[in-house]
């Protein structure tokens, strides 16, 4: 919340565009309803296609065909899988909290759809005699609405893990909650630079402000951070730690089946489209045509329904990135991933936001008009001073980070004791290589040395193999 208020205050201090939000004055409620249904169908069809697309692309990357039986080129395979999920038996664990168990997948799925309502997928078009933008709604703080809805979506995951009444789903829910919350902070900080450049948090205003220059160029670092955080936000490889099959057997949705599991599956893919659509809107000009095409004839290829085509093309570039990462990179370790988010991404993004704020202030003339000539170019004195200060701070921070890392590594390099008690903490602990066991004790009492391990099979007791060998020896 404090991040949102700070970003809102920074954006309010900068010149706002003449039209801070899209114009819905000629949009009756039934047209808005049609657009909402259209967005819902658009996302459903896109989800069906991207699941097929992902399986085919990864199949080619792994030298196998992928789905190719149901429909031409296997296009109906996803539809067949959906029908199978509907017809499967729906099992509810005996220890589950049934109401929360059912509510959790609904929360996870619906929140992903809600976020797409503020995304402009095209320019202003004519629908049934009314001029309306291809956007369900818009508010002055639309980007913050997406972050808020994503935060609510976390409840679906944690409630699913808790309500299942099982250990592994609970661990997966806790993992996912910590992961999503930590990477939402870095994601929100990366978007502050866009607010500073555009002077608005309205998605339609941000798209309009990129008519001459897409923000992927001046805010390149914010774009890199956002791409990393959006992969972590959606629990996708290499960051699908909440669903690690090797240690959590599926994670928070382990106990789900049938359509309840399909709701989580749908929510994950719709969330992928949502974060990709937000990246398209904030960094790639939204629905606007690429510069080389708009330079030819922007009125013919850049506005109206053409915007939906350009928006979809940019959206699928990010979807291919998701698929490519899944087929290329292994899963990272959980502690490394969390350390990377908290100790690297968040601090360095904070430094980037401060630098962008000062440089943006210098560009707007808030810090004076003095100029310096360097390599034949005039530079603002304030800009040179700020860049120098930021460089010094970055170098100092890197030095301190490296020093602390070396100290931490030295502290962790502790030679284990040569002799250990396996029951010292109340639980049996196996020895490390090179260690030996002392005389084991349990609760301070010496175990009877004469007590031999006994194996009982079919009602007959016999000593262990080692004891028998000693007797015969």
Please report which confidence band the pLDDT of residue 16 belongs to, taking 50, 70 and 90 as the band edges: very low
Residue for token pair 């890392």: 405
pLDDT over 60 at 288, yes or no = yes
User: 98-102, 306-310, 450-454: lowest mean pLDDT where?
Assistant: 450-454
User: What is the DSSP track for 308-326?
Assistant: HHHHHHHHHHHHHHHHHHH
pLDDT, position 318: 92
Mean per-residue pLDDT over the chain, rounded: 75
How far CA 359 is from CA of 9, 16, 278, 380, 386, in Å, comes to: 17, 18, 25, 10, 7
User: 47-61, 117-131, 229-243, 366-380: lowest mean pLDDT where?
Assistant: 366-380
Task: Determine the Cα–Cα distance for residues 219 and 190; give it in Å rounded to an integer.
Answer: 9
User: 67-81, 274-288, 382-396: lowest mean pLDDT where?
Assistant: 382-396
- Chain-centroid distance of CA 375 in Å reads 42
Task: Determine the Cα–Cα distance for residues 249 and 172; give it in Å rounded to an integer.
Answer: 9
Q: Find out whether the peptide bond into 238 is cis, omega within 30 degrees of 0.
A: yes
Please report which confidence band the pLDDT of residue 417 belongs to, taking 50, 70 and 90 as the band edges: low
pLDDT over 60 at 426, yes or no = yes
C-beta of residue 286 within 8 angstroms of C-beta of residue 210: yes
pLDDT over 60 at 17, yes or no = no
pLDDT, position 362: 65
Neighbours of 465 (CB within 10 A): 10
Please report which confidence band the pLDDT of residue 296 belongs to, taking 50, 70 and 90 as the band edges: low
pLDDT over 70 at 111, yes or no = yes
pLDDT tens per residue across span 342-393: 888 888 888 888 878 777 776 665 444 444 444 444 545 555 556 656 665 7
pLDDT, position 320: 92
pLDDT tens per residue across span 145-175: 888 888 888 888 888 888 888 888 888 888 8
Locate 470 and state its tokens.
Answer: 């000693």
């Amino acid at each position: 919340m404090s991040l949102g208020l700070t970003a809102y205050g920074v954006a309010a201090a900068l010149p706002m565009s003449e039209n801070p939000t899209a114009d819905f004055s000629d949009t009756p409620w039934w047209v808005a309803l049609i657009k909402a249904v259209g967005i819902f169908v658009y996302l459903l069809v896109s989800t069906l296609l991207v699941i097929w697309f992902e399986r085919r692309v990864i199949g080619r990357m792994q030298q196998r065909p992928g789905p190719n039986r149901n429909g031409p080129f296997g296009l109906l395979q996803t539809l067949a899988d959906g029908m199978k999920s509907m017809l499967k038996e729906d099992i509810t664990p005996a220890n589950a909290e049934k109401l929360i168990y059912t509510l959790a997948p609904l929360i996870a799925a619906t929140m992903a759809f809600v976020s797409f309502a503020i995304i402009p997928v095209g320019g202003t078009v004519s629908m049934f005699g009314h001029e309306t933008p291809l956007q369900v709604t818009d508010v002055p703080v639309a980007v913050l609405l997406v972050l808020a809805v994503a935060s609510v979506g976390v409840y679906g995951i944690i409630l699913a893990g808790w309500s299942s009444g099982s250990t592994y789903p609970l661990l997966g829910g806790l993992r996912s909650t910590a992961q999503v919350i930590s990477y939402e902070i870095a994601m929100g900080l990366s978007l502050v630079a866009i607010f500073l450049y555009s002077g608005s948090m309205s998605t339609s205003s941000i798209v309009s402000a990129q008519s001459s220059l897409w923000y992927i160029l001046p805010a390149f670092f914010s774009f890199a951070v956002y791409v990393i955080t959006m992969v972590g936000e959606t629990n996708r490889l290499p960051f699908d730690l909440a669903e690690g099959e090797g240690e959590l057997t599926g994670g928070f949705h382990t106990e789900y089946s049938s359509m309840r599991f399909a709701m989580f599956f749908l929510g994950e893919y719709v969330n992928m489209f949502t974060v990709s659509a937000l990246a398209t809107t904030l960094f790639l000009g939204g629905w606007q045509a690429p510069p080389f095409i708009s330079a030819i004839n922007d009125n013919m290829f850049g506005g109206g329904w053409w915007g939906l085509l350009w928006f979809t093309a940019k959206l699928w570039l990010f979807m291919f990135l998701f698929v490519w990462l899944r087929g290329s990179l292994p899963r990272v370790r959980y502690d490394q991933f969390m350390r990377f988010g908290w100790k690297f991404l968040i601090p360095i993004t904070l430094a980037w936001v401060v630098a962008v704020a000062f440089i943006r202030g210098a560009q707007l003339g808030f810090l004076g008009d003095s100029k310096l000539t360097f390599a034949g170019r005039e530079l603002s004195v304030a800009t040179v001073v700020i860049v120098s200060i930021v460089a010094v701070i970055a170098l100092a921070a890197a030095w301190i980070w490296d020093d602390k890392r070396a100290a931490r590594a030295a502290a962790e390099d502790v030679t284990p004791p040569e002799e250990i008690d396996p029951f010292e903490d109340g639980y049996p602990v196996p020895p490390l290589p090179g260690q030996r066991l002392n005389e084991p004790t349990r609760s301070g009492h010496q175990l009877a040395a004469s007590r031999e391990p006994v194996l009982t099979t079919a009602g007959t007791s016999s000593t262990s193999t080692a004891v028998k060998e000693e007797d015969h020896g």
